[in-house]
């Protein structure tokens, strides 16, 4: 499976919305690797945006300095978020990217033509709109732009795109997003501008082949990363992961679905290239009902949250609380409450109780294992196949709930030695299975659970998770 995220602009440091998509992609990658499947997980940054240029001007620093600094912050999320990506592409520095963009431009040349264009442009979205305000919530007024650009004959591919999506050959999940794309295509596709004035771009970006007065539109440039990072000019990676790979999955936010489900497949059809097989679409994270974004002033820093609460707490909130359909409102209080309730009080308490009872009653010797209290492998598989991370996380959590319920019902401390040994064997086996199932979601926590109930003689474990919330003040009698 070839798994990609979108590549964000680097006009500012990453926020929690970026972390959501990265963690979701990481879960998919780890899950499929655990099943023995070959996986390539790719992410990166979109360095060639006008937004980056304007941010550098506002900060009074060279564009290269700002781009390099913020791109490093995105790549630096690997450690704090426990990400396992195999490839990180930066569109301004990857040695094969510019050449690959130029190659796709030439391959689609039969669908490119020049035309004067005038319209309202949102710098935040890097796209034109027929009227304002920006439908994606950017507060800056739309700019009226009038210039000579290169256009792509998107209209030529309307029927092909509709057939591709409606047949499921290009799968879009959830279904509501698929229907949204189909309605957009059925309403009629206009040709799109795919270049910008080099003067308006301040000379930043990839020049249009044969027309240095224009730069390639940043979205055309950015979408190409999914194949340019594979050295699409030839070689094993492109052939292996784009031509022969049967499962090519893009994870994207709902605000950029049109680019990925309409413009990108049309580009590939025009170029005679293979197509992706699936597009998984997530909704937004909000704070006080407003989309978390770099321009809104509500951009929670994922690295700072990890420093305060730990990797497990941040990953778990993103996976346990964000629904498959609909936005999720974030507060630190909700993150803390979920971490304390599930991780410290639920999982941590379970493993501690089980290991402590093995030490107390069996001198740390693990009894012959029983069967786990629940089988969740199939449920997790089905949920992740539907891009439903919350349902998958809840399926794993049934092991915690069943085991805690079993402890209270069986009460091993009151059983006979033979009964107690059988009960503890069942609980140890369940905790070990929990470590296996938890690994794609919380790799660090899974390793600690495995160590606490692993092979050999058990000892009393240290607390697996901290408790973050202060206890309520108690009155005195």
DSSP 111-134: GEEEEEEEEEEETTTTEEESSSS-
- DSSP for 328-387, written as a single string: EE--HHHHHHHIIIIIIIIIIHHHHHHHHHHHHHHTTPPPPP---S---HHHHHHHHHTT
Which residues of the chain, if any, have pLDDT below 50? 471-477
Q: What is the pLDDT of residue 473?
A: 38
Catalytic residue among 31, 51, 97, 125: 125
Catalytic residue among 31, 94, 138, 248: 138
Per the CB < 8 A criterion, the answer to whether 282 and 251 are in contact is yes
For this structure, is 110 an active site residue?
no
> How deeply is 44 buried, as exposed, middle or buried, from its count of CB atoms within 10 A (0-12, 13-18, 19+)?
buried
Domains of the chain, CATH where assigned = 344-472 (1.10.730.10)
For this structure, is 134 an active site residue?
yes
Phi, psi dihedral angles at 112 (to 5 degrees): -110, 140
Q: Which residues of 244-261 are buried (b: 16+ CB within 10 A; e: fewer)?
A: ebeebbbbbbbbbbbbbb
For this structure, is 291 an active site residue?
yes
pLDDT tens profile 317-350: 999 999 999 999 999 999 999 999 999 999 999 9
Q: How far is CA 124 from CA 8, 50, 54, 133, 399, in A?
A: 12, 9, 11, 12, 44
For this structure, is 31 an active site residue?
no
Catalytic residue among 51, 97, 250, 291: 291
Per the CB < 8 A criterion, the answer to whether 295 and 138 are in contact is yes
Catalytic residue among 94, 260, 294, 468: 294
For this structure, is 51 an active site residue?
no
pLDDT tens profile 213-234: 999 999 999 999 999 999 876 6
- Count of beta carbons in the 10 Å neighbourhood of residue 311: 21
For this structure, is 254 an active site residue?
no
Q: What is the pLDDT of residue 472?
A: 40
Q: What is the pLDDT of residue 58?
A: 94
For this structure, is 15 an active site residue?
yes
pTM for the model: 0.92
From edge to edge, which strands make up the β-sheet containing 207-208?
Answer: 195-197, 211-216, 207-208
Q: What is the pLDDT of residue 469?
A: 76
Catalytic residue among 51, 122, 248, 260: 122
For this structure, is 431 an active site residue?
no
Which residue is it, tokens 């990166």?
A: 44
Q: What is the pLDDT of residue 123?
A: 67
Q: What's the longest Cα–Cα distance across the chain?
A: 87
Q: What is the pLDDT of residue 471?
A: 42
């Amino acid at each position: 499976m070839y798994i990609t995220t979108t590549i964000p602009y680097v006009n500012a440091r990453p926020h929690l919305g970026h972390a959501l998509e990265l963690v979701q992609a990481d879960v998919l990658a780890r899950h499929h690797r655990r099943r023995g499947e070959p996986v390539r997980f790719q992410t990166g940054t979109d360095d060639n945006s006008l937004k980056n240029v304007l941010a550098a001007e506002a900060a009074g620093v060279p564009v290269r300095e700002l781009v390099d600094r913020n791109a490093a912050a995105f790549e630096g999320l690997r450690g704090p978020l426990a990400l396992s990506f195999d490839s990180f592409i930066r569109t301004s520095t990857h040695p094969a990217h510019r050449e690959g963009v130029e190659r796709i431009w030439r391959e689609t040349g039969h669908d490119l033509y020049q035309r004067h264009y005038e319209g309202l442009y949102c710098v935040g979205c890097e796209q034109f709109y027929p009227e304002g305000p920006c439908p994606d919530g950017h507060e800056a007024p739309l700019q009226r732009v009038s210039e000579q650009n290169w256009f792509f004959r998107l209209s030529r591919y309307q029927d092909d795109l509709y057939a591709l999506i409606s047949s499921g050959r290009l799968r879009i999940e959830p279904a509501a997003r698929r229907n949204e794309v189909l309605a957009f295509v059925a309403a009629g596709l206009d040709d799109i501008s795919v270049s910008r004035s080099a003067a308006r771009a301040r000379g930043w970006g990839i020049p249009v082949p044969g027309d240095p007065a224009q730069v390639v539109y940043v979205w055309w440039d950015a979408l190409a990363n999914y194949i340019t990072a594979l050295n699409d000019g030839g070689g094993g990676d492109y052939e292996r992961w784009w031509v022969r790979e049967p499962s090519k999955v893009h994870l994207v936010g709902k605000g950029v679905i049109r680019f990925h489900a309409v413009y990108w497949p049309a580009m590939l059809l025009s170029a005679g290239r293979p197509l992706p097989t699936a597009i998984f679409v997530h909704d937004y994270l909000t704070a006080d009902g407003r989309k978390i974004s770099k321009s809104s002033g509500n951009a929670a820093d994922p690295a700072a949250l990890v420093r305060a609460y730990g990797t497990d707490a941040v990953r778990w909130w993103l996976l346990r609380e964000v629904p498959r359909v609909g936005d999720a409102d974030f507060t630190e209080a909700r993150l803390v409450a979920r971490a304390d309730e599930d991780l410290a009080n639920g999982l941590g308490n379970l493993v501690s109780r089980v290991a402590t009872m093995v030490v107390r009653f069996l001198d740390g010797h693990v009894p012959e294992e029983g069967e786990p209290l629940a089988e969740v492998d199939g449920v997790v598989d089905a949920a992740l196949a539907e891009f439903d991370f919350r349902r998958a996380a809840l399926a794993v959590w049934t092991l915690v709930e069943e085991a805690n319920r079993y402890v209270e019902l069986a009460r091993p401390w009151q059983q006979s030695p033979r009964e107690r040994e059988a009960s503890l064997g069942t609980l140890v086996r369940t905790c070990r299975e929990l470590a296996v199932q938890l690994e794609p979601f919380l790799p660090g926590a899974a390793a600690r659970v495995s160590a606490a109930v692993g092979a050999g003689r058990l000892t009393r474990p240290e607390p697996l998770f901290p408790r973050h919330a202060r206890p309520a003040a108690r009155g005195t009698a």
